[in-house]
Amino acid sequence: MKKGSAQDSGVLSLKYEIRIAYRYLFAKKVEGGLSAVAWYSLIGVMLSVATLIVIQSVMIGFREEFVSKILGANPHVSIYTDTFLNGKRIGFDENLQSSLKEKLNTIDGVEHSFPVILENVMASTRSANSGVQVFGIHGPDLMKIPLIKSPESVEGDLKDFSRGVAIGAALARHLGVSLGESLRLISPSGAKTAFGITPRAIDVEVSYIFSVGRYDIDSTRVYMPIDKAKKYFNRNNTIDRIDVFVERPNSIEIISDEINLAIMGISETNFVLWNWKQASNSFLTALDVERKAMFVIWSLVVLIAALNIISGLVMLVKNKTQDIAILRTIGFSKLSIMRIFFFSGFFIGVLGTLSGLLLGCTFALNIHEIQKIVEGLFGGSIWDPQVRYLTKIPIKLRIEDITWATTVALVISLIITIFPSYRAASLNPIDGLRNA
């Protein structure tokens, strides 16, 4: 019975402490409530938490969108020969291609593989010129590249690929060509004559225009039927590389080792494997480091905003000196007084964090509409795809990012209220009554 009564008394005491803290928090300034500084700190916590959530969502969205474009428009592994002649890598002949594809088809996790010819040339029309990458590829293999088969936007049909070339939408806009029109491709690796090397030129029809959502791909890439590419680049039935798509691209290191073991010893030629992580490693690492650094920096901003809570609580303690003395006189312990002011400060942190959470998620989910409004008000564009490669602001809200932002804000708010609360509990009640 006594133990139960003590527990009930403790619960009742905690209930009164919370009620008193609530009254202090929402009391008018003339009644000695929290000052405007405390409310400014609430707004500061709210904005900093919201910004932290938006930044993390945009940065993880940028990374995942960038990776999805890499995996959807580029091979997961490319196989090259390790042999050079006159400074130029020797390609694969037909026999070596057949042997490689036969071996690759026996490896679990390999979806498909296909031969590719790759050259850098100049694309030209009457209105503009541009450097492009020409990929010689079979039509059925092109249809197996996810973001080429099902891009963000498309003009034409891949069934017509054999009668022309497929080009990126940004490149088509720059050159001023549309579906069914022609453009000229000029290769610097032309025929040798008595007067030097003559550039090789060919006029091709645009039969397919795609947009995968990555500016560097949409503005530079041209796909050409491989038979036409062999003739144009004078390949003599050789290709530059074998591209491979796999089922689990995130485990590409393991599959690359399996591929390397499987193709070893096929011929006297050595092979080099280059996977998507190796190609984009420095960029993806930079994104991860930047995202973590921004989290730390904006956590410090949350700390700076929460520091204002101390100012508000110190002023509240000063205004409530007489109340503290009376509460101590009627039986409230030092711990109870400390909890009262702790709750007052912590409520500010909780309210600021929850309102920041709501504001940040709302902003993140409607960022594209907000972007349109800002661009409409001020003109111009706030998102340049030529710099950021992606055609729109990527956003991805993750539970773990929201949880981390919320936890950091709440922990900072909790710690920051301890000092002024302890100071309030340390006041001598006699001094408080004497100064009343």
SS3 118: strand
Task: Name the H helices within 83-175.
Answer: 94-104, 139-142, 146-149, 169-175
CA distances (Å), origin 403, targets 76, 400, 417: 33, 5, 21
pLDDT at 194: 55
pLDDT of residue 174: 92
pLDDT value of position 388: 58
* Average pLDDT score, the chain: 82
Name the residue with higher pLDDT: 409 or 83: 409
pTM for the predicted model, two decimal places: 0.72
Nearest to 24 by CA among 296, 312, 242: 312
For the chain, the domains span: 14-67+283-434, 83-269
User: For strand 196-211 and strand 165-168, is the pairing parallel, antiparallel, or unpaired?
Assistant: parallel
* Residue 48, token pair as written in the block: 């900093």
Which pLDDT band holds residue 191 (cuts at 50, 70, 90)?
low
Q: For residue range 323-378, what is the model confidence (pLDDT) as tens digits?
A: 777 777 777 778 888 888 888 888 888 888 999 999 999 998 888 888 778 777 77
pLDDT of residue 1: 42
- pLDDT tens digits, one per residue of 213-252: 888 889 999 999 999 999 998 888 889 999 999 999 988 8
Helix (H) / strand (E) element for 158: namely none
